[in-house]
């Protein structure tokens, strides 16, 4: 296969080049690819960026247990359409991914999917926050990230033990920062809009207390901490301070926290219900500033599919979450005033490093490397149509939104899984 006529962008810089791929591996990168043997698949990259495939640290694939909302297969197809060649599947499935058996099951389901499916294991059994899960057993199967995402680990002593245990095993502990007592009974951010609408809210402090606690615990234990979907100006300021003091913490943000505010909830449309909730315009500005300053390591999706019966109900009954795999890159390109190299760092090689995937994903586009690539047309204009998305669920808050920038092709180990914005299987 040859990807012809694009500009290669990776962590080493950018240059116009064709990319020749043989047997799943990049064989030549340069302007001299010229004539190719008959039968070679040619992907047109004219006017496009050719980059390492994107890596999502935060995908809910819902299998096992919620296949009506998403399956590993459908979620991986949505991921490939969004330019991802690897995703980390969150463990809040039914049952939770809290044992070697369920890890094996999800990895098995991911074999042959449109992107590489890696797994995050639960920190505690059943994500109940009471007893540590068999982290070493899951780490032995290659699991590198552990989280109870969907909930934070409330017990500080247990989180301390998890960080200590994780540091001995060389794995990352990822926290969903939410103090359950302060957030109890809430359906949105607590502020002007929750007061006007009469919807119980959770204050920014529900997130910030746990960010503060976990930074302290990371300092105490030397454990590797990753902070999931940060959403408040206060959280970002704490991460900035912690990094300045040399703490090896990493953090991610998600597109809905740099594109939407809590004012959207005035529609009472449950599509805008999410955890952490949509915040204020000041918080959105802080997320954008943190991305621009390099305080944040990754843009993740928190792709959280929900079936109609869980989402199209009154606001206070609806499940929190939004789908995001097919819109994340375009939202970043459209809404962030950042060079594409920075956006790709945040969506590809930096998350690949956090997840321990750099041998296969996010690495330089160079001879000898596995051909896990995406081809992005940065000027393509399109409008989000929920019915046209590959996810089994339709809960996108961006229906009708005009975006600029689209994934044209995605290549997984040399196989074109997306050609001209169409999934190939």
Catalytic residue among 302, 310, 385, 420: 302
Helix (H, G, I), strand (E, B) or coil at 230: coil
CA angle centred on 120, ends 114 and 124, rounded to 5°: 155
Q: Which of 120, 265, 304, 328 binds ligand DOR (CB under 6 A)?
A: 304
- Using the contact rule CB under 6 A, the part of the chain among 4-12, 166-174, 285-293, 319-327 near ligand DOR is 319-327
Contact predicate 31/371, CB 8 Å: no
Q: Is 364 exposed, middle or buried (0-12, 13-18, 19+ CB in 10 A)?
A: middle
Question: Which one, 18 or 149, has the nearer CB to ligand DOR?
Answer: 149
Residue in the shown chain whose Cβ atom is closest to ligand DOR? 321
Bridging pattern class, strands 172-175 and 224-227: parallel
DSSP state of 386: G
When binding is defined by CB under 6 A, the residue of 82, 270, 320, 416 that contacts ligand DOR is 320
Give CA 157 to chain center in angstroms: 28
Of the two residues 185 and 246, which places its CB atom closer to ligand DOR in the complex? Answer: 185
Structure tokens of 310? 């869980």
Q: Report cis status (omega within 30 of 0) of the bond before 93.
A: no
Q: Does 274 bind ligand DOR (CB under 6 A)?
A: yes
Q: For CA atoms 257, 393, 349, 53, give the dihedral sign.
A: negative
Nearer to ligand DOR, 152 or 370 (CB): 152
User: Across the chain, which distance is largest between two alpha carbons, in Å?
Assistant: 67
Is the distance from CB of 57 to CB of 88 less than 8 angstroms?
A: yes
| Residue (295 or 318) nearer to ligand DOR, CB | 318
| Residue among 141, 47, 151, 169 at smallest CA distance from 91 | 151
* Site membership for ligand DOR, residue 176 (CB under 6 A): yes
Nearer to ligand DOR, 122 or 340 (CB): 122
Q: What distance in Å separates the CA atoms of residue 332 and residue 338, rounded to the nearest whole number?
A: 8
Q: How far is the CB of 309 from ligand DOR (least distance, A)?
A: 14
Region 361-400 residues binding ligand DOR, contact defined as CB under 6 A:
none
Binding status of residue 191 toward ligand DOR by CB under 6 A: no
Of the ranges 181-189, 318-326, 393-401, 414-422, which one interacts with ligand DOR (CB under 6 A)? 318-326
- The yes-or-no answer on residue 302 being catalytic is yes
**Residues 37-76: x where in contact with ligand DOR by CB under 6 A, - otherwise, as a string:** -----------------------x----------------
Residues that bind ligand DOR (CB under 6 A): 60, 92, 149-150, 176, 274-275, 304, 319-321
Return the active site residues. 302
């Amino acid at each position: 296969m040859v990807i012809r006529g694009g500009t290669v962008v990776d962590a080493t810089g950018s240059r116009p080049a064709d990319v020749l791929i043989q047997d799943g591996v990049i064989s030549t990168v340069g302007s001299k690819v010229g004539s190719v043997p008959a039968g070679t698949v040619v992907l047109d990259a004219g006017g496009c960026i050719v980059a390492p495939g994107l890596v999502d640290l935060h995908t809910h694939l819902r299998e096992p247990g919620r296949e009506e909302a998403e399956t590993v297969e459908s979620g991986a197809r949505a991921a490939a359409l969004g330019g991802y060649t690897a995703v980390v599947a969150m463990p809040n499935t039914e049952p939770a991914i809290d044992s070697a058996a369920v890890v094996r099951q999800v990895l098995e389901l991911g074999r042959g999917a449109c992107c590489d499916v890696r797994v995050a294991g639960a920190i505690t059994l059943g994500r109940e926050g009471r007893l540590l899960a068999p982290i070493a057993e899951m780490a032995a199967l290659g699991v590198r990230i552990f989280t109870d995402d969907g909930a934070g680990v409330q017990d500080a002593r247990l989180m301390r033990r998890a960080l200590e245990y994780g540091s001995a095993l060389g794995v990352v502990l990822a926290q969903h920062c939410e103090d359950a007592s302060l957030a109890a009974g809430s359906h949105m951010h607590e502020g002007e809009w929750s007061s006007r609408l009469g919807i119980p809210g959770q204050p920014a402090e529900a997130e910030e207390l746990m960010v503060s606690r976990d930074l302290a615990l990371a300092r105490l234990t030397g454990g590797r901490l990753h902070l999931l979907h940060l959403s408040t100006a206060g959280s970002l300021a704490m991460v900035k301070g912690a990094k300045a003091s040399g703490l090896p913490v990493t953090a991610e943000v998600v597109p809905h926290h740099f594109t939407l505010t809590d004012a959207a909830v005035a529609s009472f449309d449950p599509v805008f219900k999410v955890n952490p909730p949509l915040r204020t315009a000041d918080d959105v500005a802080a997320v954008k500033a943190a991305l621009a300053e390099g305080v944040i390591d990754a843009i993740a999706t928190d792709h959280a599919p929900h079936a109609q019966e869980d989402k199209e109900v009154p606001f206070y009954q609806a499940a929190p979450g939004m789908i995001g795999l097919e819109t994340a890159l375009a939202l970043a390109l459209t809404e962030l005033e950042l060079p594409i190299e920075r956006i790709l760092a945040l969506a590809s090689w930096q998350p690949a490093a956090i997840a321990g995937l750099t041998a296969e994903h996010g690495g330089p586009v160079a001879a000898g490397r596995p051909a896990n690539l995406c081809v992005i047309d940065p000027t393509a204009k399109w409008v989000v149509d929920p019915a046209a998305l590959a996810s089994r669920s339709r809960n996108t808050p961006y229906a009708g939104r005009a975006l600029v920038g689209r994934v044209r092709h995605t290549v997984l180990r040399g196989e074109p899984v997306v050609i001209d914005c169409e999934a190939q299987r």
